[in-house]
Structure 1
Amino acid sequence: MFEEHLIKQDIPKFQTMELWSLEAIKQVVASGLGFAALPLVTVESEIENGTLKLLEHTESFKPIYSYMMVRSKNWHSPAVDKFMEIVLELSKDKIEV
């Protein structure tokens, strides 16, 4: 997503970093080593306490889709049930079935 934007802007040399943990991404950005596009819900507390800030932009990025899959008709731990409840609540107007 960012790479495509930089290429469109004729910025041929840039470095990217892939991290698989939201906490790692937030720490890298908070340390001043770059920027990231993250769901607002994952950075709200950092924005409130001033660790991170929102940047305005005019670029229109392609949507990023996520999928949640669980076994049907099986017992789920209370933590999994709560996670599913939170995800469904936060995305109730955006779910495609």
Structure 2
Amino acid sequence: MTYEFDAPLWRWSARTETWTFVSVPPEISDEILDLAGPAVRGFGSLRVEAEIGPSTWRTSIFPGESGYALPVKKAVRTANAADVDDVLHVRLTVLDL
């Protein structure tokens, strides 16, 4: 299942220097959660392939209070000249469904 959305880049308050994420919109998160069922892994995570600009990588999304969060690594931020609060266009393919 593949989804596309725009979301701002945010920094995780527990590790402000290194961990950045985009939030998967609630309606997409709800659909993924409904479809995932028993496919969830540790911490409720699901394997995904993500694409932002020219960058494509495999990672996991993690559940939070308002839906899933997608970690965005430094190499992706650098390749896209992205910083906290920038709105990024994300293409997300859930691999565990």
Q: TM-score, normalised by structure 2?
A: 0.22
Structure with higher Rg: it is 1
Q: Which has the higher contact order (CA 8 A, sep 6+)?
A: 2
Select the structure that is richer in helix: 1
Select the structure that is richer in strand: 2
